[in-house]
């Protein structure tokens, strides 16, 4: 069997009930494109492992990357990227709110060789009012400091070049700063509107105040890093003279 063109990485903690529906939906949305689905089981205590094994047994191109304990979304995306085979990675949240129909439009944006990351931007968000307000404030503060020209860095629907991603500096919460980090390494960033869906099963594993507690110090850290970090040697070599 040929290697996959696209690796879909899904960070998931206690999302077994959603994964059972989401994995077949992804396969349908990719419309025959060679793919694999890498689910990073982030210390789940439900039957996530059993659901993934059952889906694989039914022929889905899915495999599980386990974390013995929960390490968070950034660690899960990183683990998934390390385990992935394809040169292009698409990410979706495991709760089913990111519509798989937008994977191919995100991947299509990477046809331009200058673009390292295609970032989904949610429209018609279905989160609670508190989450939407908190996210709006965080995005404005982040945008003012980092000038990443991204209105919604928290959207889980993204596509990026695996090799470029793995050259970025790793830290917890890095997934919220990917547009700034890719741009800091000399890549162009594309933005693709994606339609948000409501969570219909399970409950969120992330709280507003948890995000703020780590997000504010990391924002200053990324601001400092971007001012001090040089572009990766790979990108410098690609720049025209």
Domain assignment of residue 56, given as a range: 6-231
Residue 240 in any domain: the answer is no
Q: Is residue 28 part of a domain?
A: yes
126 lies in a domain? yes
DSSP state for residue 10 in the 8-state scheme:
E
Find which of 70-84, 132-146, 188-202, 204-218 is predicted with most confidence, using mean pLDDT: 70-84
pLDDT tens digits for range 12-29: 999 999 999 999 999 999
CATH number of the domain that residue 168 is part of: 3.90.550.10
What pLDDT sits at residue 238? 45
User: How far is the C-alpha of 213 from the C-alpha of 181, rounded, in Å?
Assistant: 21
Q: Quickly list H helices, 58-170.
A: 73-83, 103-108, 129-146, 162-166
Residue 232 has pLDDT above 60, yes or no: no
pLDDT at residue 107 in the model: 98
Tell me the pLDDT of the chain averaged across its residues: 84
pLDDT tens digit sequence for 90-117: 999 999 999 999 999 999 999 999 999 9
Decide if 121 is inside a domain.
Answer: yes
- How many whole angstroms separate alpha carbon 33 and alpha carbon 223? 38
The answer to whether residue 80 is domain-embedded is: yes
- Classify residue 237: in a domain, yes or no: no
Q: In the chain, how many domains are there?
A: 1
Q: Which residue has the higher pLDDT, 206 or 200?
A: 200
Closest CA to 79 of 162, 184, 176: 162
Question: Would 241 be classed as within a structural domain?
Answer: no
Question: The whole model's pTM is what?
Answer: 0.81
Lowest-pLDDT choice from 58-72, 74-88, 104-118, 132-146: 132-146
């Amino acid at each position: 069997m040929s290697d996959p063109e696209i690796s879909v990485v899904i960070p998931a903690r206690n999302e077994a009930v959603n994964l059972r529906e989401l994995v077949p939906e992804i396969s349908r949305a990719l419309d025959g494109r060679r793919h694999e689905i890498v689910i990073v089981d982030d210390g789940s205590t439900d039957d996530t492992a059993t659901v993934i094994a059952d889906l694989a047994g039914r022929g889905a191109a899915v495999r599980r990357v386990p974390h013995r304990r929960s390490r968070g979304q950034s660690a899960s995306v990183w683990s998934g990227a390390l385990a992935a085979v394809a040169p292009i990675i698409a990410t979706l949240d495991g709760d089913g709110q990111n519509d798989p129909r937008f994977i191919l439009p995100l991947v299509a944006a990477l046809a331009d060789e200058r673009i390292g990351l295609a970032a989904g931007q949610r429209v018609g968000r279905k989160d609670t009012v508190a989450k939407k307000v908190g996210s709006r404030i965080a995005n404005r503060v982040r945008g003012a400091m980092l000038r990443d020209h991204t209105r919604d860095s928290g959207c889980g629907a993204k596509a990026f070049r695996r090799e470029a991603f793995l050259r970025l500096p790793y830290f917890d919460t890095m997934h919220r700063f990917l547009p700034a980090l890719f741009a800091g390494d000399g890549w162009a960033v594309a933005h693709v509107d994606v339609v948000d869906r409501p969570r219909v099963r399970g409950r969120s594993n992330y709280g507003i105040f948890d995000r703020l507690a780590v997000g504010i110090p990391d924002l200053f850290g990324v601001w400092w890093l971007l001012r001090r970090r040089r572009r990766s040697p790979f990108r410098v070599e690609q720049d025209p003279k």
